[in-house]
Amino acid sequence: MAISFSLKNNLSAWCLLLGMAVATVSCSKNDDVNEVNNPPATDTAATYLNQAYGTDAQQTMDIYLPPGRSRAATHCLIFIHGGAWTFGDKSEFTNTIDSLRRLNTPYACFNINYRLAAVGKNQYPAAEDDVQSALDYISKNSERFGVSASWILLGTSAGAHLSVLQAYKYNNGNIKGVVSLYGVYDLTKLFDQTETAVQVILTNVMGGIPAVKPQAYHDASPVNYVTPQSVPVLVMYGTQDPIAPPAQATGFIEKLKAQGVTYEQVSYPSEHGIPPAYAADAWTKIFAFINKYSTGK
């Protein structure tokens, strides 16, 4: 279940798009809305692909409901893909979720797309708002889906940033923990710590550099929302990562320590992404964390 991040190879290519029109990615619905509104009996598995949670073509999610589910025992894994807030797709996690289903894990899985930033379009806080809207959709439909209101958010790269931001800035009690894989936590500091290509992307995503948009950078930084009530988090990072520098993770961990927040940290001698040689170890640790905190007890 290794996840391959192509972010580093895509950054330079994305920068070439500045000043060019970016085509909107459209998602076709593979399932009838009436079906998702009338899911089968809870002893039957159900899959709904590209289910809309908003009006934009990118505001979709894939929903995987396990057989034998119940409101009391079927907790939710919510996946948020990476891609520097500007590219990527929920398909990043499709193989991971398929592997989980073959193993008959008891979780319901929700795999989210969100609006991607383009040149002067879908800038902050579009992606943040979309994640919140997607979670609202899941919450409103949890009884109909036959699943509990206990969630673990799992994100990679930009998706990790969005996961932690959502859990620490807006948590309504449903989010019980966060798995943050190679994420960033302080966008103001990131601007000076990361590569030039990432600075260019940040400038577009945020609508300016930190000196021009200080409040936006502050508001988009999960580190500013750490409190003693923050939920447990697994922070995984690469010690040689030039995109999400290790200082992002270590600085965030220091804030967690200072506030007495439960956390686990895992680092690998890697750049931006889980190295294949460590994939088995990484996923063992990830699901040990999920199994431990998914109930919120």
Q: How far is CA 101 from CA 96, 97, 104, 168, 221, in A?
A: 9, 6, 5, 29, 34
Residue 94 to residue 21: CA distance in whole angstroms? 29
Output 1 or 142, whichever has higher pLDDT: 142
pLDDT at position 173 is 94
What is the tens place of the pLDDT at every residue in 14-51? 343 333 333 333 333 444 444 677 777 899 999 999 99
* DSSP assignments along 157-180, one per residue: THHHHHHHHHHHHS--S-EEEEEE
Q: How confident is the model at residue 70 (pLDDT cuts 50, 70, 90)?
A: very high
| CATH 3.40.50.10540 for domain 39-293 | no
Spell out the domain ranges in the chain: 39-293
What is the tens place of the pLDDT at every residue in 81-128? 999 999 999 999 999 999 999 998 999 999 999 999 999 999 999 999
Determine the longest span between alpha carbons in the chain, in angstroms.
55
Are the C-beta atoms of 131 and 80 separated by less than 8 Å? yes
Residue 91 to residue 75: CA distance in whole angstroms? 21
For residue 264, is pLDDT > 90?
yes
Cα-based torsion angle of the residue sequence 64, 67, 73, 75 in order, rounded to the nearest 10 degrees: -10
Report the 10 Å Cβ neighbour count for 129: 15
pLDDT at position 172 is 85
Residue 254 to residue 259: CA distance in whole angstroms? 9
pLDDT at position 260 is 98
pLDDT at position 297 is 66
Q: How confident is the model at residue 291 (pLDDT cuts 50, 70, 90)?
A: very high
The pTM (predicted TM-score) of the whole model is 0.89
